[in-house]
Amino acid sequence: MNGWMILWTVTLVVGVVGFIGLLLTVSLGAFGELRLMLEELREDTRESAEHPEVLDEAT
Amino acid sequence: MSLYDTNFTGWDWGIVGVYLAASIVIGLWANRYVGNLSNYLLAGRTLRIRLALATMTGTELGLVTVMYSAELGYLQQYASLYLALYEAAFLLIIGLSGFVVYRLRQTAVLTIPEYYERRYSRGVRVVGGSMMVVSGVLNMGLFLKAGAQFLTAISGLQDPLYLKLIMTGLLLLVLFYTVLGGMVSVVITDLVQFVVLGIGMLVVTWFVVSHIGFDGLQDVVTVHDGYVDPTSAVNPTNPNVPAAGIGGGKMVQMAVVLFTALMLWPAGASRTLAVKSSEVAQQLYLYSTIPFLARRALPVLWGIGAFAFFRMNPELLNAFQNEVAASANGGGTGVSSLSATPLFLAKIIPTGILGLVTAGMVAAFMSTHDSYLLCWSGVVTQDIVAPLFGPLSQRQRILSTRISIVVIGAMLLVWGLWYETKANLWEYMATTGTVYLAGVLPVVVGGLYWKRSATAGAYVALLGGVTGVLAMGPAVNWMNLKLKSVQVSFHIENWHMVLATFAISSLGFVVVSLLFPQQTKPSSHQPKGTT
């Protein structure tokens, strides 16, 4: 196996193993973060609904 | 076994259908969280690191990425992996240094052209926004076709009419939930798509390696004389076609294009601008190293598997090459080198699992389209319509963005239906992207790091990017014919023109900024016409 093939094999292995790790890490935490995001957006949307005139202010 | 044999059945269509229906429900549901313009365009800037990573990956790991990477794997085998290494290395550099992304997030702008107005002038914003949209829509032009080619190849549909119907159907679906829920629905669907696509990619990789085997993957080099060394400009599987090779010049071109695109491609930059802080923006790039490596490396591996599979089955290889030739001459079923990998996967992945994998790929298709449509439409509203016809209320801006999404969608459909590219898909995308990237690089980097950056220089740099259209196939062919007619032996390649475009924009920016310095200090206040 020449140098290029060693490099490409390492690239493929790191890509696959790293992607498995990332998929697990992100999937486990991202749904909690989504819940927090939606809570913040709900609050923001409620404020916008209470002051609809802001949405019609031209800027 | 025939070329169009597939394990895709009614069960698999059912699985894909359920997934598509779920996306519509998410779009409808997300609409309730759109209270103002910031919610619609940037999900209220509420993204934390894991969610940002999921949506960044969902956006940048699109079906089009899978298709062009797999195509490169099929055409250039292992040598094409240099692009995966480039991306990982560049993201690591940006993530560790915070170069550009940290300072850009600090400005708290909604879009890159908004930064142009803050640093230079309103005119630069309008010109820069227009260049961005033209380049972006051209760049997206073949996404639909690539997605439809995947679906037709994997499901065994041979009538070219299906290609058009599938393109239209997929586009309408994405338009529906993006128009309704904006960035909120994009983030939610991106997360679901990240999980579905991620699992799908690993499953496909497993089946490819199981079917071909490590020996088969090794045979690509030892038996079939596959392409391994990207610094060599000659592709051993296609030695008589110069464009089939890579070589040093093309590697330099790709380094410049990729480094710029990773920092400043608008869809990615919109994630930088949507995160909670500059620190999260920098982290996002650092942690994106792995998914960006994987988004190239895994599909390339599938393409290499397809190369090995067709070499192991010479009768299928003949049938495939005949179909590609017929399609290139206007006949056939629309098959191209893009179809090699899906045709291969359709034969090795079992029924049921093939439906899940296809749902993952459809997820990849949608997660890129929704973000890109929202991104370009946001730029149309914020950076072209509002500065020219404003002031506009938030309600008017949301309406303008929604109309732009539909108009751009219609343009994509028309472009995707009639434009045929002779280059491979990745080269088409790198070339069209250059129109925008060559200008944005000096204008943003100079604006952030060089005090003498001036408005006149910014105009020259942005307009210099137009030179990038000369890198497209028909223009390069025309110039070569002209050179030949005047007996000049030099042969222009696409990458010459791409690098020339970057050089023209950057040099033009520096020289003109020095010749025509900024008369007034750049404004630091919130510019008119922005929110």
Return the residue in A54, A55, A56 with the most chain B beta carbons within 10 A, the one to mutate for interface testing: A55
What pLDDT score does B111 carry? 83
Q: Is B47 helix (H, G, I), strand (E, B) or coil?
A: strand
Q: Label each residue of B253-277 as H, E or C.
A: HHHHHHHHHHHHCHHHHHHHHHECC
List the structure tokens of B199: 């699992």
Distances (CA, A) of B275 to B56, B268, B269, B404: 11, 11, 10, 24
Alpha-carbon dihedral of residues B465, B471, B472, B478, nearest 10 degrees?
Answer: 120
Model confidence at B195, pLDDT cuts 50, 70, 90, reads confident
Mean pLDDT score across all residues of chain B: 85
**Residue B403 burial (C-beta neighbours within 10 Å; 0-12, 13-18, 19+):** middle
Q: Are the beta carbons of B51 and A20 separated by less than 8 Å?
A: no
Beta-carbon contacts of B337 under 8 Å, excluding residues fewer than 6 positions away, are: B71, B74, B75, B324, B424
B47 touches chain A (CB under 8 A): yes
ipTM, 2 decimals?
Answer: 0.81
The predicted model scores a pTM of 0.84
Q: Looking at the partner chain, which of A19, A27, A37 has a beta carbon nearest the beta carbon of B195?
A: A27
Q: Looking at the partner chain, which of B44, B191, B201 has a beta carbon nearest the beta carbon of A41?
A: B44
Chain A positions in Cβ-Cβ contact with residue B391 (cut-off 8 Å)? 58-59
Please check the confidence at residue B500 and state whether its pLDDT lies above 50: yes
Q: Looking at the partner chain, which of A11, A16, A41 has a beta carbon nearest the beta carbon of B205?
A: A16
DSSP strands (E only) in B199-358: none
Phi, psi (deg, nearest 5) at residue B204: -60, -45
> DSSP string of B176-205?
HHHHHHHHHHHHHHHHHHHHHHHHHHHHHH
Please check the confidence at residue B461 and state whether its pLDDT lies above 90: yes
How large is the average pLDDT for residues B357-367? 79
The percentage of residues in chain B with a pLDDT greater than 90, rounded to a whole number, is 38
**pLDDT tens per residue across span B286-295:** 988 988 899 8
Chain A positions in Cβ-Cβ contact with residue B57 (cut-off 8 Å)? 22, 26
Number of other CB atoms surrounding residue B177 within 10 Å = 24
